[in-house]
Amino acid sequence: MFQMIQSRRKTCMWLMLSLSLVILAASSALAQDGGRVLAAGSVMSGSISADAGAATYVFDAPANSSASLTLGNVTGGALSMHVSDINGLTLGQVSTDGAPASSAQVEAAIASGGRHFVFVYFAPGSAAQDTSFDLGLEVAAVLSVAAAVEVAEVPDQLLLGAGIEVSLSWTGAADLNLEVRDPSGRTLYWNSRSTDNGGGFGFDANGLCAVISESPEEAATWQPGFLPTGSYEIIVYYEQACDPLTATVPFNVDVVVDGVLSGTIADVLAPGVLGQQNIYVARFEVGAEGAATVVPGAVYPPSSVTLLPSSFDIVNQVATPLARDVAVAGAITNEQPFVAYSFEGVANELITVDMQATGGSLDTLLQIVDPDGNVIDVNDDAVLGETTNSLISDARLLSSGRYTIIASRYAKEAGGTVGPFRLALSGATGQVAPQVSALNLPPGDIEVSLFWSTGADLQLLVRDPAGESVFDDNPQVTSGGILQEVGNVDCAPAAGAAPVSYVYWPEGFLRPGTYEVEVWYQNPCADFPPPVNFTLQIAVNDVVVARMRQLPQPDQRFVTNFTVQPSGIAMAGDGGFIDAGSATLDYRAAALDAPAIESGVAVTGTISPGNTFDVYQFDGMSGETVTIAMSAVTFALDTNLYLIGPSGRELIANDDGDPVALGLDGRKTDSQISGFILPENGPYTIIATRYGNQYGGTIGVYELSLTKA
């Protein structure tokens, strides 16, 4: 019996693997074979031979509809029909009995619109022989919102005599936190210690690093009784390291359902970078009979919200056309973690997308994708702490073409919340001022534009080749640069809910050289939380040389540059966040044979587009006091200094030194590390660079000096 079961399992697994491979091949093959595209309301004749035992067809259907496929008039051998979506999810499967002119039918519920596949092949166990058939397709009207909600309702409750326990344990002096969300959306964690269905949360281990445990453990439990079946989401947060030597922490999550260990998740979690919190998301599912399946997940930092849940090609294929001002219904499940919609957009128009969960535990997530596959806007929670629904208001489309809306959930494929939703696409809200909606910005030889769609205060700064900066405190410079628009300055949304900042050099003011651009997330402001998804666009002589999309955290600075050649042709440089300090620079190889710098002997160097930093070394002793000064000989250069210790750790940095410490003639953009006491013996490394490191735009000659006391 065991061998027979194993054989059947292998046959089933082989069949599913074969079908998955066929889907991949069929996508491209059928694109060139229009003869196998089924149309609703039609019947197509086909055949398969003993040598070629399968035929593949495709059809398109809208979301929340139903498709009826009839395999009829079968003459020859017995056939099977398998219907699936673009991701290989089975929607139905039937076989004919082999009798003359036999037939079989699949009624498929179409939750996610787009392309679907039909496979016709010889039924298992039947003889392969030349066989003809007819294949018909009927697509019913779109389901109502109420019907879609009814289909996706949370399953019934189940009596569990021993309840449920989810426990987190880890190794290391770190504060990790556990959160578990049940199928009804109730949550248990350190600040939500009980639910109305018997849930409770225990001790907050290593909380705020106040008391460090050698064996930290946290647990969320549900007492014996009637508990919901369905999908439970597990979230592990890396709050903070309680010891400077603690970094990556190994952890285990044990899931016990009705007294039985259903599974263990073993993984590691590291501290987040640039102030971001690292999060691990997984799930487990409790079936109608009480059996539970644990599904390991993945790390989900805040920046992950800008990643697509699938490839752009797949998203494009499954997207269903979406009309304006008409709400549609859909459902998110563990098998279908996203639903895609498409619409035609026009450059500079403003759109609003609203996604509301209508049942279950669903924690929504919205993404807008441009025609090139770039996520141009994203929203998880419309109002942090008040709702898990998603809203993108007054997002600006920068080009015309086919856009995609992705309706998903928190953590996308790794997440565990499920349920029905309602989604609507509309135009600009009534909060937008006419001049912002029209975007009547003056043209220029250089145009630097910053777009975002929240109430946050982002500062745009552009520095010209002479070192003068255009920003809200200095709206015009002698080279001709002008700050025309400034969005949400000081948290005052004077221009409405579609902020735009715009710096330009009018026609006739094009000056060759390297320009630096900075976006500073100054303030999330009271009414909108982070994250903010901004788009930075740089155009020179009506040619877009850069279009960069980023997801900053509060107080982060994004820096990039572009260079205008004497011919008028421009080229953009790299861009990135500069909060990581010297970690953004690949200086270690240069430090191996760096020239020595002697106390009291100044050296000179040049920062240029091809040489963004120089490295020097000196031997130091524990307790010695050093002063390191870097001043610009060419005034356009904005200097920056780092001191690296013998262990390779950054000890101190300085961008703008104290003008008093630098002397009466010292500029505030010169750098100085004054009176620093060396912590150990060994070789020290000095990195002489510029503001923004490799992403910055200032260049010139500098002088560097070291003084030991």
* Domain range list for the chain: 2-142, 157-300, 305-426, 434-577, 586-708
Smallest CA-to-CA distance from 704 within 636, 588, 626 is with: 626
User: Domain 305-426, CATH 3.30.470.10 — does that match?
Assistant: no
Domain 157-300 maps to which CATH number in 2.60.60, 1.20.58, 2.60.40, 2.30.29? Answer: 2.60.60
Cis peptide before 531 (omega within 30 of 0): yes
| Ranges 433-447, 566-580, 672-686: which has the least confidence | 433-447
**For residue 71, is pLDDT > 60?**
yes
Inform me whether the pLDDT recorded for 170 exceeds 50: yes
Distance of alpha carbon 117 from alpha carbon 94, whole angstroms: 14
What is the reported pLDDT for 10? 35
> According to the model, what pLDDT value does residue 667 have?
61
Mean of pLDDT values over 572-589:
91
pLDDT at 560 over 90: yes
What are the tens digits of pLDDT across the range 6-39? 333 333 333 444 444 444 444 444 433 445 889 8
Contact status, residue 424 vs residue 358, Cβ threshold 8 Å: no
Q: Which of 523-527, 552-556, 641-645, 673-677 has the lowest mean pLDDT?
A: 523-527
Helix (H, G, I), strand (E, B) or coil at 78: coil
54-70 mean pLDDT: 85
**Residue 436 parent element (H or E):** helix 434-438
What pLDDT, in 10s, does the model give residues 258-269?
A: 999 999 999 999
pLDDT over 60 at 484, yes or no? yes
Question: Is the pLDDT reported for residue 354 higher than 60?
Answer: yes
Instruction: Identify the pLDDT of residue 662.
Output: 55
- The vertex-429 CA angle with 331 and 363, nearest 5°, equals 25
pLDDT tens for each residue of 635-662? 789 999 999 999 899 999 999 887 655 5
Q: What is the mean pLDDT of residues 30-54?
A: 75
**Mean pLDDT, range 452-465, rounded to an integer:** 91
Predicted local confidence at residue 263, as pLDDT = 96
Collapsed DSSP state (helix, strand, coil) of residue 10: helix
User: Cα–Cα distances in Å, from 457 out to 483, 548, 555?
Assistant: 16, 18, 10
Mean pLDDT lowest among 57-66, 135-144, 673-682, 691-700: 135-144
- CATH pick for 586-708 out of 2.60.120.380, 3.40.50.2300, 2.70.210.12, 2.60.40.420: 2.60.120.380
Residue 440: alpha-carbon gap to chain centroid: 32
Q: Which of the four pLDDT bands, split at 50, 70 and 90, describes residue 217?
A: very high
- Which residues are paired to 706 by β-bridges? 599, 628
Q: Span 499-506, mean pLDDT?
A: 94
**Choices 1.10.3470, 2.60.60, 2.70.50, 1.10.287: CATH for 434-577:** 2.60.60
* Mean pLDDT score across all residues of the chain: 86
pLDDT for res 527: 59
**How does strand 339-345 pair with strand 320-321?**
parallel
CA distance 221 to 295: 19
Please provide the distance, in angstroms rounded to a whole number, between the alpha carbons at the two ends of the chain: 85
**How sure is the predictor about 510, in pLDDT bands with cuts at 50, 70 and 90?**
very high
Q: Report, as an integer, the average pLDDT of 512-530.
A: 84
On the question of a common fold for 2-142 and 434-577, the answer reads no
Cβ contacts of 117 within 8 Å, gap of 6 or more: 22, 23, 26, 56, 57, 58, 83, 84, 85, 86
pLDDT at 301: 84
Is it the case that residue 437 has pLDDT exceeding 70? no
pLDDT at 141 over 70: no
Residue 145: its pLDDT value, please? 39
The domain made up of 2-142 has a fold known as Jelly Rolls (2.60.120)
Where is average pLDDT lowest: 20-34, 278-292, 363-377, 671-685?
Answer: 20-34
**pLDDT tier at 190 (50, 70, 90 boundaries)?**
very high
